[in-house]
Amino acid sequence: MEWETVLKCNLCGSSDISNVDGANNISRCRDCGYVFACKRPSRNEIAEYYSRIDRYDHWLRHEKERDGLWKRRLSMVRRYKSSGYLLDVGTGTGQFLHSAEQYFHVTGTEISENAIAIAKQKYGLDIVKGDIEDLHFDCRFDLITLFHVLEHVCDPAGTVLKCRSLLNQDGLLLLAVPNDVSGLQPLMFRALSFLKVGRFKKYGKMGLPKLTLDGSVPEIHLSHFTVPVLRSFLERNGFEVIEDTLDPFYAARGIARAIHCIVYYCCLLVQELSGTNIYFAILMVAKPRKRAIEYETRRPEGTCQ
């Protein structure tokens, strides 16, 4: 298996890195606060992992629940843009695009060959294969969405800069990521890890697991964002954040859905009263700053070895 070691902060280029959980290979940038996996699978290994034939079986088994999730997110999207050209980065099996195409001209990207095949078979969608940084498009977009994608990519700075270059002047970037450093989830995971409860033993000091590709960690999260870090990152890269809220990420029905709704709205109330997001996921909406001076955030040579 190919692994790489991250030597510098991808978001700000700093070499001032502290190891905050050596057992699970988790580091933090002392300059900007970015938390990331300092030892991780290579880009090719990650693409192969997400291309496994059974990778999206769970999604397909819960298609109805996930349909509710995507319609809920589409409703949020349409608060900001009701039509136009939409690019969904890391679109998975294309379920969101299938819901959105009645309002938008849709395009999607994906690294998983299996997900692309499912999107074609189920929804008739032609998804573009590859990392967004490596792709060329003949048009600019009115809206670019990244739903729980940025935490997976090897080069988040390159991803965000590429998205900015693909947006129209009045376009919007809608970005959702897990709140797995400062929300309720890491607090619970740290407590369960300390108590050595079942599968949570591996979650360590930060409430984050050590990355593996053996299936014991279902999602390969290379980055872990907080609200302040994500906001500052977007602002340094020529964006103005126009909304910072919660992403209603849950796909459930019945009693489970009711519980998720209660937790979501309670956390939403906490944010409105205190300005703090303690929920499980972050949603930010940003627009390109006019006449912004591009921040030189590129992956420095020698970042990985």
Q: What is the CATH number of the domain that holds 135?
A: 3.40.50.150
Domain membership of residue 102 (yes or no) is yes
3-state secondary structure of 303: coil
Q: Would you say residue 162 lies in a domain?
A: yes
Phi and psi torsions of 250, nearest 5°: -75, 145
Residue 99 lies in a domain: yes
Output the tens digit of pLDDT for each of the chain's 305 residues. Answer: 789 999 999 999 999 999 999 989 999 999 999 999 999 999 889 888 888 878 777 777 778 888 889 999 999 999 999 999 999 999 999 999 999 999 999 999 999 999 999 999 999 999 999 999 999 999 999 999 999 999 999 999 999 999 999 999 999 999 999 999 998 888 887 777 777 777 777 788 888 988 988 878 888 999 999 999 999 999 999 999 999 999 999 988 899 999 999 999 999 999 999 999 999 999 999 999 975 444 444 444 334 44
Measured in whole angstroms, the distance separating CA 86 from the mean position of its chain's CA atoms is 17
The number of angstroms, rounded, from the C-alpha of 220 to the middle of its chain's C-alpha atoms is 11
222 part of a folded domain: yes
143, 121 contact by CB (below 8 A): no
Q: Is residue 303 part of a domain?
A: no
Alpha carbon distances (Å) from 212 to 41, 58, 189: 8, 19, 18
Query: What count of residues does the chain have?
Result: 305
Q: What domain range is 115 assigned to?
A: 3-288
Does 252 map to a domain? Answer: yes
**Structural contact between residues 211 and 203, judged by C-beta atoms closer than 8 angstroms:** no
CA 119 to chain centre: 20
- Rounded to whole angstroms, how far apart are CA atoms 294 and 287? 14
- Say what the pLDDT of residue 219 is: 87
State which amino acid sits at residue 107: T
Asked if residue 293 belongs to a domain, the reply is no
Q: Which of 282, 215, 272 is nearest to 247 (CA)?
A: 282
Q: Round to whole Å and give the CA distance between 222 and 262.
A: 30
The one-letter amino acid code at 145 reads T
Contact 220, 49 (CB under 8 A): yes
Sequence-distant (≥ 6) Cβ neighbours of residue 276 within 8 angstroms: 270
CA–CA separation, 172 and 162 (whole Å)? 13
Into how many domains does the chain fold? 1
3-state secondary structure of 122: helix
pLDDT at 291: 56
pTM, 2 dp: 0.90
Task: Tell me, yes or no, whether 152 lies in a domain.
Answer: yes
